[in-house]
């Protein structure tokens, strides 16, 4: 974001919570709306009106859909089409215009000028949320929200406005009207928030430094060990970065009285690619399933059509992440793997011991991360060659440096990305060892203080999913 993360955590958040808690129940959604707009405008002052326009058009479309007779198919459908096209147009203009213009110029030899519009933060998230409202209203899954303040509060809710999780209206409809905030919920929210902050600042930022070093190297000269260590570092960086933000959003939601859906469930413990996508960015996978894959026909129209639907859905999932051929290929790569599992290898997965299945899945995911994070297809090819040892270098001084300097953080991330800590808590609970209850406040305080110290002293603090 444009503003300092430290400024937000130390000033804005406590102020917002204080104003929110002392506000009457009837004004709490208004406070959410105002604070959400201020939060977004602080980081994106020019584009806050894009978000407002998107939400307002969907609100009006929803009111018309709800007020129309069920037999008035044309009117209802026209409103839905306007809503969907408007949201997709916003994404097209701000996120894909450079990609489209560049492609046209390259193919046809034209010289159309690229406007190079900056990408509004979180546009991929709030347009999907807003669009899901009108689609579900058209389907009759939800009731219309007549109160524009409540609707705008849903769209602009600051905990998850810029990087998710994607909260569809049906998941939060009742909570907008009635929610409670108790000490237990507050305590859970604070712990979840601090846990996410620690993931982001202490783990993602530190392990990400290794990937930054490897990414800047010449891929055709990388040793096999360096290449694998580099992409493993990125795998941990993006997991702890994004799941950390999701934890912070869910924790803040609890502090405000909301229950946001979970977005991660130890994805690197998956035993298949299908299982991985049930655990990684769960709200996005669910969105594409409910609003694209199933409307295309899902698996109801035969093998060939199911494979086509899966490939289209996953290719567009890749395109959602960014306007480049690499993202499209990344999505298609996972689509092809899921198709293979569904029709060929799926019945054998249960026969494979879990540990080898997890390792194989993790390796396949790592190859996907290469496509995701490198800039061009040729860069990806060069990196694949290094991972396969085709550069003719197994290990060198660079890989030794990486092991010595980043070995500990890689091991910590490897353990932290699994359910080991959760299992350990249950194990000690069965032994009736309650030291965790006593130690928990000190652990949370320690994580908070360490995270703030890193934020003050470290200039490397990217939020990877802000660019999507």
> CB-based contacts of 321: which residues, under 8 Å, 6+ apart?
124, 327, 330, 331, 372, 468
pLDDT of residue 451: 82
Residues in the chain, overall count: 468
- In 3D, which of 272, 263, 215 has the Cα closest to residue 239? 263
Q: Give the tens place of pLDDT for each residue, 115-146.
A: 888 888 888 888 899 899 999 999 989 999 99
Catalytic residue among 261, 321, 451, 455: 321
The fraction of the chain above a pLDDT of 90, given in percent, is: 56
Say whether pLDDT at 4 is over 60. Answer: no
pLDDT of residue 1: 43
pLDDT of residue 465: 59
pLDDT of residue 431: 59
Say whether pLDDT at 341 is over 60. Answer: yes
Instruction: Compute the average pLDDT of residues 287-300.
Output: 93
Say whether pLDDT at 462 is over 70. Answer: no
Say whether pLDDT at 426 is over 70. Answer: no
pLDDT of residue 70: 72
* Structural domain spans, the chain: 5-179, 185-271+352-467
pLDDT-based confidence at residue 2 (cuts at 50, 70, 90): very low
Q: Give the tens place of pLDDT for each residue, 168-202.
A: 999 988 898 888 888 888 889 999 999 999 999 99
Return mean pLDDT, the chain. Answer: 88
Say whether pLDDT at 284 is over 90. Answer: yes
pLDDT-based confidence at residue 391 (cuts at 50, 70, 90): very high
pLDDT of residue 432: 56
**What is d(CA 358, CA 340) in angstroms, rounded to the nearest whole number?**
17
Say whether pLDDT at 163 is over 80. Answer: no
Is 281 considered catalytic here? no
pLDDT of residue 95: 87
Query: Which carries the bigger pLDDT value, residue 170 or residue 69?
Result: 170
pLDDT-based confidence at residue 261 (cuts at 50, 70, 90): very high
């Amino acid at each position: 974001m444009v503003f300092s993360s430290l400024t937000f955590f130390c000033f804005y958040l406590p102020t917002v919570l204080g104003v929110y808690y002392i506000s009457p129940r009837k004004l709490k959604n208004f406070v959410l709306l105002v604070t959400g707009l201020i939060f977004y405008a602080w980081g994106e002052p020019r584009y806050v009106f894009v978000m407002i326009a998107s939400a307002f058009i969907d609100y009006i479309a929803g009111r018309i859909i709800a007020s129309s007779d069920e037999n008035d198919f044309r009117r209802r459908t026209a409103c839905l089409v306007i809503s969907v096209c408007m949201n997709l147009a916003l994404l097209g203009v701000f996120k894909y215009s450079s990609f489209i213009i560049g492609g046209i110029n390259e193919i046809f030899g034209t010289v159309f000028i690229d406007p190079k519009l900056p990408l509004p933060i979180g546009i991929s998230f709030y347009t999907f949320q807003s669009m899901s409202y009108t689609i579900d209203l058209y389907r009759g899954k939800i009731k219309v929200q007549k109160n524009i303040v409540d609707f705008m509060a849903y769209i602009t809710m600051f905990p998850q406005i810029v990087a998710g999780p994607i909260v569809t209206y049906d998941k939060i409809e009742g909570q907008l009207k009635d929610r409670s905030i108790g000490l237990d919920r507050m305590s859970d929210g604070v712990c979840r928030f601090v846990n996410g902050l620690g993931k982001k600042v202490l783990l993602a930022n530190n392990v990400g430094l290794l990937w930054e070093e490897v990414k800047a190297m010449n891929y055709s000269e990388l040793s096999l060990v360096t290449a694998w260590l580099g992409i493993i570092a990125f795998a941990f960086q993006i997991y702890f970065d994004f799941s950390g933000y999701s934890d912070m959003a869910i924790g803040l939601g609890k502090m405000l009285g909301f229950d946001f859906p979970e977005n991660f469930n130890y994805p690197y413990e998956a035993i298949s690619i299908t299982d991985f996508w049930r655990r990684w960015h769960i709200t996005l996978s669910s969105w594409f399933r409910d609003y694209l894959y199933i409307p295309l026909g899902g698996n109801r129209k035969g093998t060939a059509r199911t494979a086509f639907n899966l490939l289209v859905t996953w290719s567009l999932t890749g395109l959602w992440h960014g306007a480049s051929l690499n993202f499209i290929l990344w999505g298609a790569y996972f689509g092809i793997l899921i198709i293979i599992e569904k029709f060929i290898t799926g019945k054998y997965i249960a026969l494979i011991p879990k540990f080898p299945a997890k390792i194989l899945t993790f390796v396949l995911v790592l190859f996907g991360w290469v496509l995701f994070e490198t800039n061009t297809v040729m860069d990806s090819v060069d990196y694949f060659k290094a991972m396969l040892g085709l550069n003719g270098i197994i290990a060198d001084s660079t890989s030794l440096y990486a092991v010595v300097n980043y070995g500990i953080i890689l091991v910590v991330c490897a353990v932290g990305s699994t359910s080991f800590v959760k299992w350990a808590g249950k194990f000690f609970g069965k032994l009736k060892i309650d030291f965790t209850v006593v130690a928990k406040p000190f652990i949370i305080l320690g994580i908070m203080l360490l995270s703030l110290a890193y934020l003050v002293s470290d200039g490397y603090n990217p939020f990877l999913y802000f660019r999507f």
